[in-house]
Amino acid sequence: MKYYIIVLGIIILFFSSSFIGLTSSIQEENFVFDETRQPLITNDSDLIAEYTLSVMRYDHLIESDNFGDVNMPKPTPGIVLIPTNMMCIEVCRSAVSVFHKDKMDTILSLQEYDLNNMVVGLHYLFWHVWATKHSMPCLGQKISAHEMRLLGDRCLWANLIGDCYSQSAFNTAVLRLCGFSPEEVFSLLMPAHAVNIVKINDTWYVFDSVQAQFARKAVCDEYYPPLEDIIYWLENDKYFINFGTPYPEVFPYQDNPYSNIDPIILISIVENIVPLFNNSMLGGQDWEIHEFIENATASPDMVTNEVPYNVDDATGSTDEEKAQSLLELNKAFIFNQTGGELPNQYDRSLYGLGLLSVDYPQAYANASKLASWTSWLAKHLDTNSIMRDYFRTVHWIKFIIKNMQTMQEGCVGFSDFSYIRLAGSSADKAIIAYGTLRNMKKENSFWQPEDLYILITDDNEGYLAVNAKNDWKYLNFGKGKSISSNSPENIKMVFNENEYSSVWLE
């Protein structure tokens, strides 16, 4: 009976869609960099852990059933999402379609676009209430533009579904690609809500695509925060200005005052937007702007390099050709910003996109182990038999998740998202199976990484190698026999949460 309840719950989640939603004499020398705040990255396991959070992008503290708390990615989910979105065709198409030479025309065109295409997913509200009542996991994952479109595929009245933060990250990316400079457009976070702030002809406006779904207007010249008059942080692909949250015990990273923007520019922004937001406080400490600048440091997880391309740089005779051209320009730039001593926003965005060609695909396996739905379902699918564990896992995943490539080519999805969408490639499903078995008991302890390896072939088909009592079995998530004693051919990637190789040796 409990399995029917599980299936019913997933079906309800799947079909739910939506209704909600100073000028100053401060000089550059006041902008201090504090080396002591560098994060400690000591080995590959630390990097895997960092990149894992970019895959998951949870916006709040959430507890895995068996493996502890999952935190926010650094610096924030939006910092990961904005460059990720610039590598999504959905954002490039949107930028091409709303672009005008006049910036006010552009933002009004984006308002119309969002009204016609974008809604807040009802499951963000419904699922939290229903799942909490039934002691089930609550999904609070921020999603990319591509994932928003995949959810929109199942909605009758919208093409893009995402919460306010996801919508804000989408709009920031679009406006940046329409020629707005990184000093002219930001995502802005406040208690329980996210919007955009946009500068046009020396005037700042609020752009709230969620509000527009009710008031039919996204562009505002005054704005009243829905809960509290506090501004937490501003972000885009180049800048992270963090005024701090009032909850340092929950979000210690977000409590630090961070800024990597010129102080004079910041003062001008703050002088204009604080009155716009009902004279909101700056962070939980209610900073005075000069005091904030004196205390702020540059986040070590950011490089101050913006994506340099916009619609004017795209080539092609059709809108689709221009969108594809813009996408390739963005990808080439972002790839060239990665690989430094510390992971920056662009390194993390590759994992946010789900690229298999990253340096540490182990992050995808580790994210599956920690994934809320994947781990919760594993607990309910667990058996007292090794063979029944992997037998039930492969058949459950093949039954409940439709076999189709939902992510971009060469990319994989986050395991919990595959459950929301009830679709994924065989590689997606092999990763889900890894996380499922890691959360099951094998004899007196959990299945261990050395007994589980995700195998990806040359044509991106996914398998899971399972060591059952020194006898390797291969779980097939595509067509054909589900369990085999014979290894698949043409393997190009082998990984679990700790190891990665291009060679499979039993």
Q: Do 119 and 17 contact (CB within 8 A), yes or no?
A: yes
25 vs 496, more confident: 496
Q: Do residue 127 and residue 260 come from a single domain?
A: yes
Q: Do residue 114 and residue 248 come from a single domain?
A: yes
Mean pLDDT of 12-24: 34
Q: Of the candidates 339, 373, 400, which is a domain's last residue?
A: 339
d(CA 468, CA 447): 10
What pLDDT, on a 0 to 100 scale, did the predictor assign at position 246?
Answer: 78
**Domain-located, residue 347:** no
Please say if the pLDDT value at position 4 is more than 80. Answer: no
Please say if the pLDDT value at position 459 is more than 90. Answer: yes
d(CA 100, CA 466): 55
What pLDDT, on a 0 to 100 scale, did the predictor assign at position 212?
Answer: 87
What does the pLDDT look like over 249-271, one tens digit per residue?
778 888 899 999 999 999 999 99
Mean pLDDT of 281-309: 96
What does the pLDDT look like over 385-430, one tens digit per residue?
999 999 999 999 999 999 999 999 999 999 999 998 999 999 999 9
Q: Do residue 246 and residue 181 come from a single domain?
A: yes
Q: Do residue 29 and residue 159 come from a single domain?
A: yes
What does the pLDDT look like over 332-371, one tens digit per residue?
999 999 998 899 999 999 999 999 999 999 999 999 999 9
Q: Do residue 331 and residue 418 come from a single domain?
A: no
What pLDDT, on a 0 to 100 scale, did the predictor assign at position 71?
Answer: 83
Q: Do residue 200 and residue 325 come from a single domain?
A: yes
Q: Do residue 325 and residue 380 come from a single domain?
A: no
When divided into structural domains, the chain yields a total of: 2
**Domain-located, residue 57:** no
**Domain-located, residue 291:** yes
Q: Do residue 330 and residue 409 come from a single domain?
A: no
pTM above the 0.85 mark?
A: yes
What does the pLDDT look like over 149-204, one tens digit per residue?
999 987 777 899 999 999 999 999 999 999 999 999 999 999 989 999 999 999 99
**Domain-located, residue 492:** yes
Give me the CATH number covering residue 403: 3.10.620.30
Q: Of the candidates 339, 371, 399, which is a domain's last residue?
A: 339
Q: Do residue 463 and residue 333 come from a single domain?
A: no
**Burial profile 352-362: b = 16 or more Cβ within 10 angstroms, e = fewer:** bbbbbebbbbb
Q: Do residue 81 and residue 178 come from a single domain?
A: yes
CB neighbour list of residue 343: distance below 8 Å, 6 or more residues apart? 41, 47, 50, 51, 301
Domain with 225 in it:
22-39+74-339
Q: Do residue 395 and residue 284 come from a single domain?
A: no
**Domain-located, residue 48:** no
Q: Of the candidates 308, 339, 370, which is a domain's last residue?
A: 339
Percent of the chain exceeding pLDDT 90 equals 74
**Domain-located, residue 51:** no
Mean pLDDT of 44-53: 94
**Domain-located, residue 317:** yes
**Domain-located, residue 126:** yes
Please say if the pLDDT value at position 122 is more than 60. Answer: no
DSSP codes joined into one string, 243-309: ---S-TTT-TGGGS-B--S-HHHHHHHHHHHHHHTTT-EETTTT--HHHHHHH-B--TT--------
Q: Do residue 261 and residue 372 come from a single domain?
A: no
